[in-house]
Amino acid sequence: MKQRKWKIIFISLFSCVMMAAIELLWKPNYFYKSICKIGLFGGTILWICLKEKRSPSFFFKIQNKRQLFKAILLAVAVYVLILFVYGISGSKIDFSQMLNGLSQKEGISAKNFIWVALYISCVNSLLEELLFRGYAYGFLKEDMPEWQASLFSAGLFAIYHVAIMVNWFSIWLFLLLLAGLFVAGLLFNYLDHEGGILPSWLLHISANLAINTIGCLLMGVF
């Protein structure tokens, strides 16, 4: 059990380090980076299913329908809350570095942003939920206290986004976003603690949809 615990931690860390290396060293546009992430995160999960002799459906089991219903209500609330916060404070935030990074480094423009937004909201969120909640939290809590697994998963989820968001915002806003991601990771873990990743995936989709709605406004999509 102890050996399995460290294996889970190593594989989770290795997957994130590899994506960070791709992000910071190779610096591909968003299309090629997404292909890498699908291959790395998706391939890791498939390999884990084979090694652990578990069906992929294991990650989507529903043991508590009330938890799923709670997640749906939270998803709606989070979408509204993010747009509300942007509405009252968006004008005070400098998005120029982020927009320049998206257009120059990622190859994202108003013409292709809708497709990127759909991918981020549905596919990218699923890949992250499978790795951070399904594996780093779901498997790890079988071999260590649940609160420790939750802290590790949430911390890794937050730190993973450092390579993505670096140089986008001021240091204080960056740290605030990092703390927000950590708290979000803890919340996602709480929603999933009785079953699979469906509750956290729904909430993740909702948050990404809200952020991408703001992205559409900033990029002049509509």
Cβ(149)–Cβ(137) below 8 Å: yes
Contacts of 10 (CB under 8 A, 6+ apart): none
Residue 24: per-residue pLDDT: 85
Domain that holds residue 202: 2-219
Contacts of 191 (CB under 8 A, 6+ apart): 67, 70, 71, 74, 199, 200, 203
Residue 36: per-residue pLDDT: 95
Cβ(113)–Cβ(216) below 8 Å: yes
Number of domains observed in the structure of the chain: 1
11: tokens are: 């594989």
Residue reference for tokens 């649940």: 146
Phi, psi of 169 (to 5 degrees): -135, 175
Residue 1: per-residue pLDDT: 61
pTM given for the model: 0.92
Angstrom distance (rounded) from CA 41 to CA 47? 10
Residue 12: per-residue pLDDT: 95
Residue 216's SS3 state is helix
* Amino acid found at 84: F
Residue 96: per-residue pLDDT: 75
197: tokens are: 């990743």
Angstrom distance (rounded) from CA 69 to CA 53? 30
CA dihedral 123, 68, 72, 93 (to 10 degrees): -60
* 10-residue stretch averages of pLDDT, the chain, 222 residues long: 86 94 88 94 94 88 80 93 90 76 78 91 96 95 94 95 75 85 94 90 95 88 76
